[in-house]
Amino acid sequence: MNDMVGSNKTIRIGTMVLVYALLAVTVLCMLVPYLWMLSSSLKLNKDVFSFPMQWIPANPRWENFVDIWTKIPLGRFIYNTAKLSVIVTILQLLTSSFAAYAFSKLHFKGKNVLFLGYIATIAIPWQAYMVPQFIMMRSLGLNNTHMAIILLQAFSAFGVFLMRQFYQGVPDELCEAARIDGLSEYGIWARIMLPLSKPALSTLTIFTFVSTWNDFLGPMIYLTKTDLKTIQIGLRMFISQYSAEYGLIMAASVVSIIPVVIVFLALQKYFVQGVAASGIKG
């Protein structure tokens, strides 16, 4: 009897050791690229590939982080990206939550057809109509303007869908009570729905902000002037121009990731909830 318990325990401990070893290796695989990025960003070009690796450089070259700002207009790129991300996020939050309120709490003709239309277009890949969209924007004189990126990202069907899913969970009685108290529909949206929907608003904020910050193809098509480029396109340009400047490329990469790291670590909980919610609803 004791023996059996003992061997069971050994198996359990063995399994645990195996599981932890496996997880440790996986975690390492996930982390090594960032550690390598960080370590290389503080090295001279000739030391980046020295083998065996020196994870903490003996003489960290902080100058790399100074030099990149003069080699490329990094400040300009970050400013452009931040501007676009903030404007797109605010517009999406406002227009999506506004429309979602009507779709979940108001009655009007064509509601179902209109909503179905929104959902149907979520499934259509943007890559399938990026060409006509570009032609349209160009004929409006909007290519090589930030306005083009804002207009094509600000009115998202997904945002409307996400907010509506959340509003559906808010009891109708709450709105009824507010109506009886004489609050207008706009008042209900502003004073009841918005404060209640903080989790949904946070999720949409994170997703919109991060995806606009990281967007590659949109800015690549629309922003060909260096002054207008975003950090992703700027970094890409830098990598092709200075392909042998390993230390500098890594320093610029570190800088381009920092804002996302901050947003991610601060709002990580909402991120995970948001992904989970989108999965369950799928």
Partner 1 sequence: MQNETVLRPKKAPKSLLSKGVRDHLVAYSFIAPNFIGFAIFTLVPMFFAFVLAFVKWDGSNPMEFIGFDNFARLIKDTTFHKALWNTIVYTIGVVPFTMAVALALAILLNQRIIARNFMRTVFFFPYVASLVAVAAVWNFIFSPTMGPVNNILHLISGVPIEDLPRWAADKHWAMFTVILFTVWKNMGYYMVIYLAGLQGINSELYEAAELDGAGAWRRFRNVTVPQLAPTTFFVLMILVINSFKVYDIFINLFAGADNQLNDSTRVMVYQIYNTAFRSLDYGYASAMAIVLFLLVLGITIVQFRGEKKYGQ
Which 117-146 positions form the footprint of partner 1 (CB under 8 A)? 117-118, 121, 123-136, 138
- 55 near partner 1, judged by CB under 8 A: no
Q: Closest separation between CB of residue 26 and partner 1, Å?
A: 7
Contact 228, 148 (CB under 8 A): no
Would you say 42 or 235 has its CB closer to partner 1?
235
Kindly state the smallest distance separating residue 171's Cβ from partner 1, in Å. Answer: 19
Q: Is 70 in the site for partner 1 (CB under 8 A)?
A: no
**102 makes contact with partner 1 (CB under 8 A):** yes
Whole-Å CA distances, 33 to 17, 27, 28, 188, 261:
25, 11, 9, 49, 15
- Which residue in the set 89, 203, 208, 256 belongs to the binding site for partner 1 (CB under 8 A)? 256
Site string for partner 1, 226-245 (x = CB under 8 A): -----xx--xx--xx--x--
Rank residues 86 and 273 by Cβ distance to partner 1 and give the closer one.
273
| Among residues 114, 170, 174, 194, the one that binds partner 1 under rule CB under 8 A | 114
Based on the shown chain and the rule CB under 8 A, indicate whether residue 78 belongs to the binding site for partner 1: no
| Cis ω for the linkage preceding 219 (within 30 of 0) | no
Is 158 a binder of partner 1 (CB under 8 A)? no
Report how many residues bind partner 1 under the rule CB under 8 A.
95
Q: How near is the Cβ of 93 to partner 1 at its closest, in Å? A: 11
Does residue 280 touch partner 1 according to CB under 8 A?
A: yes
Q: Which stretch binds partner 1 (CB under 8 A): 63-71, 153-161, 166-174, 197-205?
A: 153-161
- The least CB distance from residue 69 to partner 1, in Å, is 17
90 binds partner 1 per the rule CB under 8 A: no
Residues 199-228 that bind partner 1 (CB under 8 A): 210, 213-214, 216-217, 221
State which of positions 163-192 bind partner 1 (CB under 8 A): 185, 189
Answer yes or no whether residue 30 interacts with partner 1 by CB under 8 A.
Answer: yes
Residue 23 is a binding residue for partner 1 (CB under 8 A): yes
Q: How far apart are CA 151 and CA 73, in angstroms?
A: 25
- Following DSSP, what letter does each residue of the chain receive, concatenated? -HHHHHHHHHHHHHHHHHHHHHHHHHHHHHHHHHHHHHHHTTS-HHHHT-SS--SS-SS--THHHHHHHHHS-HHHHHHHHHHHHHHHHHHHHHHHHHHHHHHHH---TTHHHHHHHHHHHHTS-GGGTHHHHHHHHHHTT-TTSHHHHHHHHHS-HHHHHHHHHHHHTS-HHHHHHHHHTT--HHHHIIIIIHHHTHHHHHHHHHHHHHHHHH--HHHHHH--SGGG--HHHHHHHHHHHTTT-HHHHHHHHHHHHHHHHHHHHHHHHHHHHHHHHHHHH-
